[in-house]
């Protein structure tokens, strides 16, 4: 299961019809807003959202960014881990 990254999106599957997505946008040079995570019925329960989140957080850490978590899934995952929660904006 390959996770792909384009500007503002981590996804699995075809870019036109992905099986899972985590969408974000830059608010400023140091902060991204994670606003949407979704997986298709075909891949639910397979840990796809978690894999997307892991790729997203690796990107955040690599670029030393803060996260405004407007997506409930991303907010929950970040608050569960003290290392991630320090990145919350």
Q: Is the pLDDT of residue 86 over 90?
A: yes
Q: Is the pLDDT of residue 1 over 90?
A: no
State pTM to two decimals. Answer: 0.94
Q: Is 9 exposed, middle or buried (CB count within 10 Å of its CB: 0-12, 13-18, 19+)? A: middle
Q: Is 27 left (phi over 0), alpha (psi -120 to 50) or beta?
A: alpha
**Digit-coded pLDDT (tens) for 13-58:** 998 899 999 999 999 999 999 999 999 999 999 999 999 999 999 9
């Amino acid at each position: 299961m390959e996770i792909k990254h384009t500007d503002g999106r981590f996804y699995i599957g075809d870019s036109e019809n992905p099986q899972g997505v985590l969408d974000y946008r830059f608010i400023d040079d140091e902060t991204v807003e994670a606003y949407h995570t979704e997986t298709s019925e075909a891949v639910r329960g397979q840990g796809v959202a978690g894999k997307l989140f892991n790729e997203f957080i690796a990107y955040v850490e690599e670029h030393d960014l803060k996260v405004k978590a407007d997506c409930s899934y991303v907010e929950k995952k970040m608050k569960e881990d003290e290392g991630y929660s320090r990145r919350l904006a």
